[in-house]
Amino acid sequence: MDTIGDDVQTVARGALPAFTANPETARLYTWATENKDTLTWFPCTCGCASLGHASNRSCYIKEETSRRVTYTSHAAT
């Protein structure tokens, strides 16, 4: 859990976190991972900018490297 109460999981790039077990949720998280340049232009509409989210992509991905992605459950809840 992070400081705002979201589940956070770090997985190898190409894998998805446990909270994406629902096929539709998995598709959304896959799209968010693969479309960084597009999703970073979308503002968040749930009001989480006050929590430090810079764009809608922040609702899906907390951090990433070339080998690992840290996902947040914010978009799944």
**pLDDT reading at 68 higher than 80:** yes
pLDDT at position 20: 96
Which residues are 61's β-sheet partners?
A: 71
Which residues are 8's β-sheet partners?
A: 72
Cα distance between residue 40 and residue 32, in whole Å: 9
**pLDDT reading at 73 higher than 80:** yes
16 phi and psi angles, rounded to 5 deg: -120, 155
Cα distance between residue 70 and residue 43, in whole Å: 20
pLDDT digits (tens, 9 = 90+) for 14-40: 999 999 999 999 999 999 999 999 988
Whole-model pTM: value is 0.87
